[in-house]
Amino acid sequence: MSISPYDRDLYRAFTELACEPGAVGDGFARWLGALPEQLAKGLDRKRHADLKAWHGALEKLPTLPDEREVQLDADRVGACFPTGLSTGQQRQSENLLRAMMPWRKGPYQLDEIHIDTEWRSDWKWQRLAPHLSDLTHRRMLDVGGGNGYHGWRMVGAGAAFTLVIDPSPRFYCQFHAVRHFIGADHPQGRNLHFLPVGIEDVPAKMAAFDTVFSMGVLYHRPSPMDHLFQLRDALRPGGELVLETLVVEGDVTTVLMPGERYAAMPNVYFLPSSRALAHWCERAGFKDVRIVDEAVTTLDEQRSTDWMTYHSLSDFLDPDDPRLTREGHPAPRRAVLIATRA
């Protein structure tokens, strides 16, 4: 079996974890056996016509100096090079990174290149970070983690192993582009990995992660309770869930089921109130459930940029009443919930 250079550290980490005793070793041993098929499916160029171009851009990124200063605990995740990059290297890098647009989550600072992403994901991290358990030495799973921005922040906070899963091959290429600057051999760079799969591809009842993140995923699931069960089963007993999703105002019985679209998104199913969301989590087998943040998404937090030139939040709201989406639903409001697996 030929292993891509981009996936060697992933295989190494899974192999090491498969040797751990108990549920951790058993879960990763099962997953290790499924990796070749999952990677082949997730990176199948017949299914993803643009993957060849994104992968080509990734492979053309210039060789960088070994000496670098890595910033994973800063709002702009990235690296800079004390000896500097040449003007040609800067220009080549920026052109290749732009070939992978749009960039949704960030921001990133790759030497002199500022990738101003659609989402100010650093604001979300600032809101939830004070409420997290100490991440030092923890095993983390970031479900639907996009290009890995929050995964880098987890590693920067001390996580020993973080796995970002997201079925988008574009995000896979963006992740490895950022990792190229941070350094695949950098001690922290070796602690973060990306697998182009969804939560349904995680082995059943794995019970191997100390913390599981699911941010911006639940409302895309036609069966939100099944998603909560999947998140629970990935956690060890006593592990921590960090859940962020769209919510509406209301009591424990309030749930909005939009029509064909919500804020122009075609695959939004259920928006509970934060109290209903907490109740769902309790029913799914979590305890110590608490809402740590709830706020309306602002036009400063999600917007079009030079690195994401398509429509964004301002285009999806009622032009006469920004409290509503253009379909007439309440404007996007998000809650962050933290809970413990019972």
The answer to whether 323 and 309 have CB atoms below 8 angstroms apart is: no
Residue 241: in which H helix or E strand, if any? Answer: strand 235-246
Structure-token match 């004390």, residue found: 82
The answer to whether 300 and 307 have CB atoms below 8 angstroms apart is: no
The reply to whether 238 sits in an annotated binding site is: no
The reply to whether 52 sits in an annotated binding site is: no
The reply to whether 124 sits in an annotated binding site is: yes
| Coil, strand or helix at 217 | coil
The reply to whether 265 sits in an annotated binding site is: no
**Which spans in 167-297 are helix H?**
169-182, 224-234, 274-283
List CB contacts of 200: < 8 A, sequence separation 6 or more.
230
The reply to whether 199 sits in an annotated binding site is: yes
The reply to whether 105 sits in an annotated binding site is: yes
Answer whether the bond into residue 21 is a cis peptide, omega within 30°. Answer: no
First to last CA, the chain: 40
The reply to whether 282 sits in an annotated binding site is: no
Q: Which DSSP string do the residues of 15-40 spell out, in sequence order?
A: HHHHTSSHHHHHHHHHHHHHHHHHHH
Alpha carbon distances (Å) from 107 to 63, 103, 115, 251: 23, 9, 6, 35
The reply to whether 115 sits in an annotated binding site is: no
CA-to-CA distance for 149 and 307, rounded, in angstroms? 15
CA-to-CA distance for 122 and 137, rounded, in angstroms? 22
Length of the chain: 342
| Coil, strand or helix at 203 | coil
Structure-token match 């000896």, residue found: 83
List, in sequence order, every beta strand (DSSP E) within the chain: 69-71, 77-80, 105-106, 108-110, 113-115, 119-120, 139-143, 161-165, 192-195, 209-215, 235-246, 255-256, 271-272, 286-296, 317-318, 321-325, 333-341
Going by the annotation, the residues of the binding site are 105, 119, 124, 144, 166-168, 199-200, 215, 219, 334
Going by the annotation, the residues of the binding site for carboxy-S-adenosyl-L-methionine are 105, 119, 124, 144, 166-168, 199-200, 215, 219, 334
